[in-house]
Structure 1
Amino acid sequence: MDEFLNWYFSDRPVVASQLGAEGYDHTLGDFTAAAWESRAREETRWIERLSQLPVASLDDAIDRDLVLSQLRGSVALESWPEWRRSPGPYVTAVFSSLFNPFQQRLKPEADLVAAAVSRLAEVPGVLAACQANLDPDLAAPLLVTRGIGQARTGRNFLTRTLPSMVADETLRARLAAAAEPAAEAFDALVVFLEGFQCGGTWRMGEKLYSTLLREREMLGYGAAELHEKGKAAWADLDARMRRVALGVNGTEDWRAAMESLMDDHPPTLEAMRAEYEAETRRAREFVRDRGLVTFAEGEECEVLPSAEYTRPVLSVAHYLSPPPLSSSRTGIFFVPYTPDHFTPEQVRQRLRTNSRAQMPSIAVHEAYPGHHWHLSYMAGNPRTVRKVFRTPYFTEGWALYVEKVLHEQGYFDTPATELAHLDCRIFRAARIVVDTALHCEDMSIEEAETFMATKASLSPGTAQGEVNRYCAWPTQAPSYLTGAIEIDRIRESFSGSAREFHDRIAGSGGLPLGLAEQAALA
Structure 2
Amino acid sequence: MRASRLLASFLMGAAAIQAAPVFAQDDPAPAAPVVETKSAPGPMDATLRALYDAEWEWRQAEYARVKEGGRWIQGESLGDVTAEAQARRLAYWTDVLRQLDMIPMDKLSPEEQVNAAVFRQSVWENANSIEHKTYEAPFNSDTFFWGGLNPRQGFPNAASYRRYLGRMNDIPRYFDENIVNMRAGLARGYTVPRVAIEGRDATIEAYSVTGEANPFYDAFRTMPESIPAAQQAKLRADALKAIETSVAPAYAKLLTFMRGEYMPKARTQIDAYSLPDGKAFYQDQIKLYTTLDLTPEQIHEIGLKEVARIDADMQKTMRETGFKGTFPEFLQFLRTDPQFYAKTPRELLSYAAYVTKRMDGKLKETFNFLPRYRFTILPVPDVIAPIYTSGRGGLDSCLFNTYDLPSRPLYNLTALTLHECIPGHSFQAAVALEAPDRPDFRRQTYFSGYGEGWGLYTEWLGTKLGLYETPYEEFGRQTFEMWRAVRLVIDTGIHTQGWSRQKAIDYLAGHTALAQRDVETEVDRYISWPAQALAYKLGELALRKMRAKAEAELGAGFDQRPFHDTFLNLGSVPLPVMEAKMEEFITREKARLAKTGKPRS
TM-score, reference length from structure 1: 0.87
Alpha-carbon deviation of 1:517? 1.3
Residue type of the alignment partner of 2:243? A
Larger relative CO (CA 8 A, sep 6+): 1 or 2? Answer: 2
Tell me, in whole angstroms, the C-alpha distance in 1 between the residues paired with 2:70 and 2:325. Answer: 50
1:41-77 CA distance string (max 9 Å, x none) = 2221111112223553122111111121122233333
Bigger Rg, structure 1 or 2 = 2
Alpha-carbon deviation of 1:260? 3.1
Q: Which residue of 2 aligns with 1:162?
A: 216
Alpha-carbon deviation of 1:491? 1.8
Are the aligned partners of 2:375 and 2:426 in contact in 1 as well (CA < 8 Å)?
yes
Q: Which residue of 2 aligns with 1:228?
A: 301
Q: Which residue of 2 aligns with 1:198?
A: 265
Q: Which residue of 2 aligns with 1:373?
A: 427
Tell me, in whole angstroms, the C-alpha distance in 2 between the residues paired with 1:476 and 1:380. Answer: 27
Alpha-carbon deviation of 1:19? 11
Matched, 1:316 2:390: yes
1:293-334 CA distance string (max 9 Å, x none) = 13434221210011345435422200122xxxxxxxxx3110
Change (3 A) 1:399 1:433: same
Out of 76, 81, 88, the position equivalent to 1:31 is: 81
Aligned residues: 495
Are the aligned partners of 1:255 and 1:456 in contact in 2 as well (CA < 8 Å)?
no
Q: Which residue of 2 aligns with 1:113?
A: 161
Change (3 A) 1:517 1:475: same
Residue type of the alignment partner of 1:203? D
Residue type of the alignment partner of 1:287? L
Residue type of the alignment partner of 1:3? A
Change (3 A) 1:250 1:87: closer
Are the aligned partners of 2:64 and 2:75 in contact in 1 as well (CA < 8 Å)?
yes
Alpha-carbon deviation of 1:31? 1.7
1:406-431 CA distance string (max 9 Å, x none) = 21232213212211111111111111
Are the aligned partners of 2:509 and 2:516 in contact in 1 as well (CA < 8 Å)?
yes
Change (3 A) 1:39 1:147: farther
Are the aligned partners of 1:138 and 1:198 in contact in 2 as well (CA < 8 Å)?
no
Change (3 A) 1:217 1:463: closer
Deviates more, 1:395-404 or 1:408-417: 408-417
Alpha-carbon deviation of 1:443? 0.6
Change (3 A) 1:158 1:420: farther
Q: Which residue of 2 aligns with 1:429?
A: 485
1:115-149 CA distance string (max 9 Å, x none) = 11111111000111122111223223526646523
Matched, 1:349 2:406: yes
Change (3 A) 1:24 1:358: closer
Deviates more, 1:381-390 or 1:143-152: 143-152
Tell me, in whole angstroms, the C-alpha distance in 1 between the residues paired with 2:87 and 2:197. Answer: 22
Q: Which residue of 1 aligns with 2:60?
A: 9
Are the aligned partners of 1:333 and 1:367 in contact in 2 as well (CA < 8 Å)?
yes
Residue type of the alignment partner of 2:59? Y
Change (3 A) 1:485 1:157: farther
Are the aligned partners of 1:13 and 1:27 in contact in 2 as well (CA < 8 Å)?
yes
The 5 A counterparts of 1:163-178 are 163-166=217-220, 167=222, 170=233, 171-178=235-242
1:197-227 CA distance string (max 9 Å, x none) = 5354553234332334346633242211011
Are the aligned partners of 2:76 and 2:164 in contact in 1 as well (CA < 8 Å)?
yes
Are the aligned partners of 1:423 and 1:457 in contact in 2 as well (CA < 8 Å)?
yes
Tell me, in whole angstroms, the C-alpha distance in 2 between the residues paired with 1:481 and 1:242. Answer: 21
Tell me, in whole angstroms, the C-alpha distance in 2 between the residues paired with 1:174 and 1:405. Answer: 49
Out of 201, 211, 232, the position equivalent to 1:148 is: 201
Deviates more, 1:120-129 or 1:17-26: 17-26
1:331-352 CA distance string (max 9 Å, x none) = 31101143xxxxxxxx14323x
Are the aligned partners of 1:223 and 1:436 in contact in 2 as well (CA < 8 Å)?
yes
SS at match of 2:271: coil
Alpha-carbon deviation of 1:292? 0.6
Tell me, in whole angstroms, the C-alpha distance in 1 between the residues paired with 2:204 and 2:69. Answer: 25
Matched, 1:336 2:393: no
Tell me, in whole angstroms, the C-alpha distance in 1 between the residues paired with 2:348 and 2:151. Answer: 23
Taking only the aligned residue pairs, the percentage that are identical comes to: 19
Out of 57, 60, 71, the position equivalent to 2:112 is: 60
Residue type of the alignment partner of 2:397? I
Change (3 A) 1:348 1:297: closer
Tell me, in whole angstroms, the C-alpha distance in 1 between the residues paired with 2:484 and 2:210. Answer: 32
Change (3 A) 1:47 1:187: same
Out of 92, 106, 130, the position equivalent to 2:178 is: 130
1:426-447 CA distance string (max 9 Å, x none) = 1111111111111214211121
Change (3 A) 1:507 1:157: farther
Change (3 A) 1:95 1:210: closer
Change (3 A) 1:162 1:500: same
The 5 A counterparts of 1:89-488 are 92-100=144-152, 102=153, 105=155, 107-108=156-157, 110-134=158-182, 135-136=185-186, 137-142=189-194, 145=198, 148-155=201-208, 159-160=212-213, 161-166=215-220, 167=222, 170=233, 171-180=235-244, 181-196=246-261, 197-200=264-267, 203-205=271-273, 206-214=279-287, 217-251=290-324, 253-262=326-335, 263=337, 264-288=340-364, 291-321=365-395, 331-338=396-403, 347-351=404-408, 355-381=409-435, 382-384=437-439, 385-488=441-544
Matched, 1:45 2:99: no
Q: Which runs of 5+ in 2 are unaligned?
A: 1-51, 224-231, 274-278, 585-601
Residue type of the alignment partner of 1:360? T
Change (3 A) 1:479 1:307: same
1:239-286 CA distance string (max 9 Å, x none) = 111111111133474453344345321112232122212222222222
Are the aligned partners of 2:310 and 2:482 in contact in 1 as well (CA < 8 Å)?
yes
Q: Which residue of 2 aligns with 1:499?
A: 561
Alpha-carbon deviation of 1:24? 4.3
Alpha-carbon deviation of 1:86? 4.0
Tell me, in whole angstroms, the C-alpha distance in 1 between the residues paired with 2:287 and 2:70. Answer: 30
Tell me, in whole angstroms, the C-alpha distance in 2 between the residues paired with 1:18 and 1:445. Answer: 45
Tell me, in whole angstroms, the C-alpha distance in 2 between the residues paired with 1:407 and 1:157. Answer: 49
Over the residues paired in the alignment, what is the CA RMSD in angstroms? 2.7
Are the aligned partners of 2:285 and 2:530 in contact in 1 as well (CA < 8 Å)?
no
Out of 130, 140, 143, the position equivalent to 1:78 is: 130
Tell me, in whole angstroms, the C-alpha distance in 1 between the residues paired with 2:210 and 2:559. Answer: 48
Alpha-carbon deviation of 1:159? 4.7
Residue type of the alignment partner of 2:569? G
Change (3 A) 1:178 1:471: same
Tell me, in whole angstroms, the C-alpha distance in 1 between the residues paired with 2:577 and 2:211. Answer: 41
Residue type of the alignment partner of 2:61? S
Tell me, in whole angstroms, the C-alpha distance in 1 between the residues paired with 2:333 and 2:357. Answer: 26
Residue type of the alignment partner of 2:265? C
1:98-118 CA distance string (max 9 Å, x none) = 315x35x4x22x223211111
SS at match of 2:150: helix
Tell me, in whole angstroms, the C-alpha distance in 2 between the residues paired with 1:450 and 1:49. Answer: 49
Alpha-carbon deviation of 1:157? 9.5
Tell me, in whole angstroms, the C-alpha distance in 1 between the residues paired with 2:197 and 2:511. Answer: 29
Alpha-carbon deviation of 1:3? 0.9
